[in-house]
Structure 1
């Protein structure tokens, strides 16, 4: 039997020499190149033919026998009868069976999202200023958390989250957002995505309709779609989510996902009349509102608009917050604030559905908030981001002139630069990427029939000293 091909093509250097023969034989057996009942040479003979040590052959044979790929008995060593190998050895059929794929629900939900730049290129949306993070204060809180850690912090987190963190969050939300909440109403989550997944699974049934903003937060569409909900896009106007009468009549929602304080990605703010009307219509429809208040901490002027959650004591609203922008995304901690009527049941159901962790980080974050570090950091970053937005606006105005149209500057870490129809935003974003910019096309966040054409410009990681150079490259991308 000619077996020189077993070692003819080299494997990656990282593969130990002893495993090369084993991997080649295994591949040949599973692919059908060595059919069932094929007798292999004796170990001494094969070692001599290939010019390798006999122990190498013995290792390969013994491992393949243990896996069931080979059979060793008095008749020698031969290939076992394997269904996959038997099928592969047969002549190719004109009808080829399809390989297993994701479920149809998953395939529909996982629509392509704008690429996230690992290096946080200039204008990458949603990237905070990591260089300004209070490492010393945070490290001290972590050290105290580890020093005082017990079995609870090393195991799964308590139902609803660490009690100290829930208490600290309740105090913070009461003083900063005016939400008179009790710690028992707060559920700590592993970020916004986990919070949305819980809302989809615990507040709605499979097949129910969820409304999302169009354009809107793509990750929300994914979370709801994977949970088996029917995602319905509702257009956004200058006052936020703008459902039509046809939406209420024919696409009755069970969940309504909104970002009212700073609509993502357009940055528009939902007016108070629109907020009150949405609560009343949702109540009449038996729907829950999921309010994502993702960056209200970075309001430019004056207090943030009142949260939907606090407008009515019995409003059917679940409030979601995160620390991804105010601290850092890798922390993976967020929270839900729940109405009293469902808080206990929701928290117990969430405990059955998931196993929360990060006990040390939760305790450290509670200490960080209680000592005032969080409020100080947010206040300092609010001033820094305001200065960066002003510098960016001035540079854009100088580069593009009076025809420039910007939106979204009331809060958050990004602006939207609207483009004329003659300049497709996808093409501009592609040219910008070639120039080392993390610009995203606004149209990528929208679904037909809504059409929008612009660029989402993040400035959280854009130091004032590099603004002019980055805008100069952006102008080249726009010019084509």
Structure 2
């Protein structure tokens, strides 16, 4: 239907464009309501400048008859336009309001400048685009098909049934008391962590816990030591806090901190993964742990202990957390259920030192909002019932077998010089390669074949020549696939040689 809107002659209105209602209004199943369509077309015409300020809209009766729609539909569209401020009703009818419209920037020589983004974002290094969730050899993904989904569904059902509608509202900002108590008990037994439930803060994964540490304990410009190569998420948390990051090298015994470092660039924060360094897999020795704690106590520094993958140790007894070595240690302990349960659960935790927990209660109440309440209650029950421990036991055996299979495949089918690192813990192995095999090129090539190894150099703040290699995840890749995958990967590595 072709239609042009008639206008009154006083005051002199702008001509109504013929295209305003050139296309007929859509009708039938699936079409938007007539009121919404009419409102949208008038709004677009006003914003685009096709209906000038002061232009009078046609009367509701005349427009309804012309369009063969209900007058109430037209009136409702006009009322919404008036409520939003696009038009102004008066005794003579309805006129287009005077608006300041943004100028389109494309194609204009003197286009207005776009608002600037935060300067800190320009310092975030580009990394590979996110891989498909089921891509082979992707680090950091657990064996999702082995998760006891039926048991978890029953725990969720019980949480909903027992808590009822009351859990639909906001919860305690630091998290559900039942889950905080369950985590405190579990950490005391499994990790040697010294804490009470009121020291535990529930977060949306480890990333929010790291960001919370930065917000609670630092000011812009403070110095933070961070392992290098190290976890990219920790770097992102430090950057968003406008911290000055100092890369600290890691050897077979973990983070290296000399006396000269303490004298020349004393930190406010130290980030470390002592039980299983990510991505190299080193274990911070007890001598270095105790020395680090002594130093931070002297300098007034805080340690963030990210207990990455510590639940999955494949040889010997689990290595205890650094947090529990010394009473009242200035250590903030960070953990997550992304690997022990599943990533989309988005539940992690932060254990505050006892001296800090009471001080932070008021800020945390203001900064956090209790959410995911049914999931938190279900997880508390999952832990208390023993399901969580049984699941961890099954996964340890599975990951131990998968790591062994990956090591064997690498030994048989990786002919070029390489060094396998990663210890006997976690969900990944790191393969260091000579610099003549550029790891980023290899990773890009692998993605085209359904694999997602991570380039080791992408984890380094200041990459060294030795920071070249691949981080290979085995958590969500079946053991029988490793031989063909490694053969293909070796072919891609040879092809990338420079």
Which bracket does the TM-score occupy, shorter chain normalised?
0.7 to 0.9
Q: Does 1:266 align with 2:280?
A: yes
1:7–1:20 CA contact under 8 A, matched in 2? no
Tell me which residue corresponds to 2:493. 478
- Residue of structure 2 equivalent to 1:416: 430
Matching residue of 1:99: 114
Q: Partners in 2 of 1:445 and 1:173 — Cα distance?
A: 28
How far has the Cα of 1:213 moved from its partner?
A: 1.8
Are 1:149 and 2:166 an aligned pair?
A: no
What is the distance in 2 between the residues matched to 1:119 and 1:10?
44
Cα distance change on mapping 1:160 and 1:41 into 2, 3 Å? closer
* Structure 2 residue 427 is the aligned partner of structure 1 residue 436: no
State whether structure 2 residue 477 is matched by structure 1 residue 462: yes
Tell me what 2:101 maps to. 84
Question: Aligned match of 1:325 in 330, 339, 348?
Answer: 339
Give the 5 Å matches for 1:228-267.
228-245=242-259, 247-267=261-281
The 1:390/1:88 distance shift into structure 2, 3 A limit, reads: closer
Matching of residue 67 in structure 1 with residue 119 in structure 2: no
* CA distance in 1: counterparts of 2:30 and 2:448, whole angstroms: 34
Q: TM-score, normalised by structure 2?
A: 0.85
Q: 1:455 to 1:10 in 2, by over 3 A?
A: farther
Using the alignment, how far apart are the partners of 2:25 and 2:239 within structure 1? 41
- Contact in 2 for aligned 1:215/1:450 (Cα 8 Å): no
Distance 1:457 1:155 in 2: 42
Q: Evaluate the alpha carbon distance shift between residue 9 and residue 463 of structure 1 in structure 2; reply closer, same or farther with a 3 A threshold.
A: farther
Q: CA 1:77–1:266 in structure 2 vs 1: closer, same or farther (change >3 Å)?
A: same
The structure-2 alpha-carbon separation of the partners of 1:280 and 1:31, relative to structure 1 and needing over 3 Å to count, comes to farther
Q: CA deviation at 1:82?
A: 0.6
CA spacing shift, 1:479–1:251, aligned 2, 3 Å: same
| Structure 1 position 278, deviation (Å) | 1.6
Deviates more, 1:212-221 or 1:111-120: 111-120
Is the CA contact 1:299–1:411 (under 8 Å) kept in the aligned structure 2? yes
| CA distance, structure 2, for counterparts of residue 471 and residue 11 of structure 1 | 59
Please identify which structure carries the higher helix content.
1
Partners of 1:262 and 1:410 within 8 A in 2: no
Confirm or deny that 1:373 pairs with 2:387: yes
TM-score normalized with structure 1 length: 0.88
Deviates more, 1:118-127 or 1:3-12: 3-12
Offset at 1:318? 1.1
The superposition leaves residues 58-90 of structure 1 with CA deviations (integer Å, 9 ceiling, x where unpaired) of: 6655543332223444656543211126x669x
Structure 1: state its 5+ residue gaps. none
Shift of 1:229: 3.1
Is the CA contact (8 Å cut-off) linking 2:173 and 2:368 kept in structure 1?
Answer: no
How many residues end up aligned between the 2 structures?
475
Query: Given the alignment of the two structures, is residue 16 of structure 1 paired with residue 32 of structure 2, yes or no?
Result: yes
Residue 311 of structure 1 corresponds to 325
Identify unmatched segments of 5+ residues in structure 2. Answer: 1-14
Deviations for 1:265-300, whole angstroms, at most 9, x for unmatched residues? 222222222222222222222110000002101112
Map 1:194-209 onto structure 2 (within 5 A).
194-209=208-223
- 2:148 aligns with one of 110, 134, 159: 134
* Structure 1 residues 271-310: aligned runs within 5 Å: 271-310=285-324
Query: Contact 1:186–1:337 at 8 Å: present in 2 too?
Result: yes
SS at match of 1:430: helix
> More displaced, 368-377 or 381-390?
368-377
Change (3 A) 1:39 1:147: closer
Deviates more, 1:435-444 or 1:151-160: 151-160
1:361 maps to 2:375: yes
Specify whether residues 421 and 454 from structure 1 end up closer, same or farther in structure 2 by C-alpha distance, changes over 3 A only.
same
The alpha-carbon deviation at position 315 of structure 1 amounts to: 1.9
The 1:247/1:48 distance shift into structure 2, 3 A limit, reads: farther
Cα distance in 2 between the residues matched to 1:271 and 1:11: 73
